[in-house]
């Protein structure tokens, strides 16, 4: 399986044929997303904006 879904974790060109490798990549992606949402919520609180006004795509670039 060759994917290009998560460049932030360095998994964008991970190739694996085993189910464990695929599960690892899916788990890492979900973990990254959970941390990103939590960080986005903290940023929104800090700048006194609603969470919906914060772009989650921009947070890794500014962190």
Residue 38: inside a domain, yes or no? yes
pLDDT of residue 62: 59
**Average pLDDT by stretches of 10, the chain with 63 residues:** 52 72 86 92 92 85 60
Residue 37: inside a domain, yes or no? yes
Residue 12: inside a domain, yes or no? yes
Classify the C-alpha dihedral 2-28-30-9 as positive or negative.
negative
Residue 1: inside a domain, yes or no? no
What's this model's pTM, rounded to 2 decimal places?
0.66
Residue 36's nearest CA partner among 12, 3, 9 is 9
pLDDT of residue 55: 86
Place of tokens 């085993």: 18
Domain membership of residue 28 as a residue range: 7-62
Interatomic CA distance for residues 63 and 60, integer angstroms: 5
Residue 28: inside a domain, yes or no? yes
Tell me, what DSSP letter sits at residue 7? G
Q: How many domains does the chain have?
A: 1
Contact 39, 60 (CB under 8 A): no
């Amino acid at each position: 399986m060759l994917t290009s879904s998560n460049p932030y974790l360095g998994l964008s060109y991970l190739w694996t044929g085993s189910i464990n490798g695929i599960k690892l990549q899916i788990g890492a992606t979900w973990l990254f997303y959970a941390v990103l949402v939590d960080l986005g919520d903290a940023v929104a609180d800090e700048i006194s904006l609603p969470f919906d006004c914060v772009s989650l795509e921009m947070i890794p670039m500014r962190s």
